[in-house]
């Protein structure tokens, strides 16, 4: 068809120009979109690598990045534990609140103690010293805007205590992983390769008492109460075992702390909160002999790489408490 006017000729020209421009622009737009996708993917990979590098590395422990806020993570973990009728929470320690109570700053750091005597008692029947690592704990920390959930690998129990081959270890591992997943929204590893580095009695100090268990226990509590430390929990493993129809030699745990001493450890390494407050185990063996056991400070220093932190005050307090509990005054 012949074009009959200049107006028609110009209209045809601009129409053709627009079509050509559209055809030439499409590949450029597609290339730009592809580049944006590649940049986005690279950014996601960098963020993922940064998150992996930020995960605390603690020998014998497993930590997982949470996709929730700190408060929501703690609440989800509590709900998961409280929703299981076989589990009980005897203690929750808010380390940040304890630090604030003495005028110190600490990023969010909370440890939740929980247990089931049907599961824990057989481990202590095999080795009473396992009682210092029971009940189990879930640790929630926030560092640089990231929230992490950690727990001690139950195979740390197997390595530190003579409980290898106990079927309950698998049950504990599964429960810890499931509770962590409920709090983080992510699947958690149930094992830590580093747990195999530990040996029997690793990091434990045990002293024999010159008195019976009641006297030893009462002397220990009196000494702690007379110090700046506060008792957070007294746990009678034997009584809890009896409650579910199981037998256990006298085994008692006291959990105590002083935020003026413990906070600097967590300021240096937030992961140290999983081993705080401090614990002392008092136990009586089959022969009626009474012993007092603690985690030594070298264990804490090695596990959490506290190279620049002076633990003499912590070690001195533990030694004073153990000596007061095990040695009759004046003897």
Series of mean pLDDT values for 10-residue runs along the chain (331 residues) = 54 52 56 68 62 83 95 97 97 98 98 97 96 97 96 88 87 93 78 59 92 98 97 98 98 98 97 98 98 94 92 95 91 59
pLDDT of residue 3: 45
Q: Identify whether the C-beta of residue 148 lies closer than 8 Å to the C-beta of residue 64.
A: yes
Pick from 251, 252, 277, 249: nearest CA to 263? 277
Helix (H, G, I), strand (E, B) or coil at 254: strand
What's the DSSP call for residue 187? -
Report in angstroms the alpha-carbon separations of 174 from 120, 128, 162, 306, 326.
14, 23, 21, 30, 38
pLDDT of residue 23: 47
What's the DSSP call for residue 102? T
Domain ranges in the chain?
55-326
Model confidence, pTM: 0.84
Q: How far is the C-alpha of 328 from the C-alpha of 320, rounded, in Å?
A: 13
The vertex-120 CA angle with 72 and 111, nearest 5°, equals: 25
Task: Show Cβ contacts of residue 290 under 8 Å, excluding neighbours closer than 6 positions.
Answer: 208, 209, 211, 212, 213, 216, 282, 283, 284
Chain length of the chain: 331
The side-by-side arrangement of strands in the sheet containing 136-143 is 61-65, 146-152, 136-143, 109-115, 88-94
Q: Identify whether the C-beta of residue 325 lies closer than 8 Å to the C-beta of residue 220.
A: yes
Helix (H, G, I), strand (E, B) or coil at 235: strand
Q: Which CATH number fits domain 55-326: 3.10.20.90, 3.30.310.70, 3.20.20.150, 3.40.50.720?
A: 3.30.310.70
Pick from 271, 235, 273: nearest CA to 257? 273
Q: Identify whether the C-beta of residue 229 lies closer than 8 Å to the C-beta of residue 191.
A: no
pLDDT of residue 7: 61
Task: Show Cβ contacts of residue 10 under 8 Å, excluding neighbours closer than 6 positions.
Answer: none
pLDDT of residue 189: 57
In the chain, DSSP finds a helix count (H) and a strand count (E) of 11, 10
Q: Identify whether the C-beta of residue 300 lies closer than 8 Å to the C-beta of residue 313.
A: no
């Amino acid at each position: 068809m012949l074009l009959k006017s200049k107006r028609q000729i110009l209209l045809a020209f601009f129409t053709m120009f627009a079509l050509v421009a559209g055809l030439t622009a499409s590949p450029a737009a597609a290339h730009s979109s592809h580049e944006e996708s590649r940049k986005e993917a690279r950014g996601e990979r960098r963020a993922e690598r940064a998150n992996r590098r930020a995960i605390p590395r603690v020998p014998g422990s497993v930590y997982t990045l949470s996709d929730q806020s700190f408060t929501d993570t703690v609440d989800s973990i509590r709900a998961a534990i409280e929703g299981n009728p076989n589990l009980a929470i005897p203690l929750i320690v808010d380390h940040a609140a304890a630090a604030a109570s003495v005028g110190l700053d600490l990023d969010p750091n909370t440890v939740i103690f929980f247990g089931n005597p049907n599961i824990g008692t057989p481990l202590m029947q095999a080795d009473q010293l396992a009682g210092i690592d029971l009940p189990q704990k879930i640790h929630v920390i926030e560092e640089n805007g990231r929230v992490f959930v950690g727990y001690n690998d139950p195979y740390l129990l197997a390595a530190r205590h003579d409980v290898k081959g106990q079927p309950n270890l698998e049950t504990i591992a599964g429960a810890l992983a499931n509770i962590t997943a409920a709090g983080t929204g992510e699947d958690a590893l149930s094992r830590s390769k580093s747990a195999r580095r530990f040996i029997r009695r690793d990091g434990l100090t045990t002293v024999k008492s010159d008195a019976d268990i009641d006297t030893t226990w009462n002397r220990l509590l009196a000494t702690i109460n007379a110090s700046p430390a506060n008792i957070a929990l007294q746990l009678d493993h034997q009584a809890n075992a009896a409650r579910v129809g199981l037998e256990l030699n006298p085994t008692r745990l006291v959990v105590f702390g002083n935020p003026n001493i413990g906070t600097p450890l967590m300021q240096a390494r937030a992961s140290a909160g999983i081993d705080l407050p401090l614990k002392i185990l008092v136990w009586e063996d089959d022969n009626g002999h009474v012993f007092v056991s603690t985690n030594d400070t070298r264990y804490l220093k090695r596990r959490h790489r506290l190279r620049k932190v002076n633990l003499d005050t912590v070690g001195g307090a533990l030694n004073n408490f153990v000596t007061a509990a095990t040695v009759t005054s004046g003897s």
